[in-house]
Amino acid sequence: MRIVDLVDRARALAAAGERRVLGIAGTPGAGKSTVSDALLDALGDDAILVGMDGFHLANEELVRLGRRERKGAPDTFDVEGYVALLDRIRAGHAVYAPRFDRSLEESIGSAVLVPAEVPLVITEGNYLLHDRFGWDAVASRLDEVWFLDVDAAERRERLVTRRLSHDHPHDEAVAWVRDVDEANAAVVERGRHRAHLVVTVSEAPAGALGHHEGAAS
């Protein structure tokens, strides 16, 4: 499927006459942000992005829970808060959403305004199709979920490159991808059969690493 076909499908959702919510799911490094950005560029004021990664638990809380070393796993997010925000978004009101800041490795609350008049809200993240730790409540809040597929070796290379770009030493970057990202990827893969559409990422825009993916993307 070409990106223009994805744009047409998203545009049809935006033209449905009431607010729709589109989920973009996939393993870490699959290109969720780049596909989301391509849709945003094409739809302009008719779409806005709310990332799942804005609901990362704070690093201080992850340390308290003993989960800091596997940040990005399904149980390192405020899932209930994410579901509550999706409900508010579906109600069609203007709402504020958090945004994950990679330079800080923390989420910033109320950083994204979702205006009431925007007909399509795109939300992207790893666990939109997961069925444990409360994530099973997410899919029913989404009108469609697209799962991005990608070659595993290419995806791992992207992830290492991304960590290197944020000044992580090479050995640490490789270890994080091997021990954390790959474990999360195995979890994410189990939900692909629940997607409305599976998209081969080689058909998506170039530069599939993107700018906005958070620690779990």
- pLDDT for 176 equals 87
pLDDT bucket at 189, cuts 50 / 70 / 90: very high
Sign of the Cα torsion 214, 23, 189, 56 reads: positive
pTM for this predicted structure:
0.89
Question: Which residue type, as a one-letter code, is found at position 185?
Answer: A
pLDDT, tens digit, 9 for 90 and up, residues 93-126: 999 999 999 889 999 999 999 999 999 999 999 9
3-200 belongs to CATH 3.40.50.300: yes
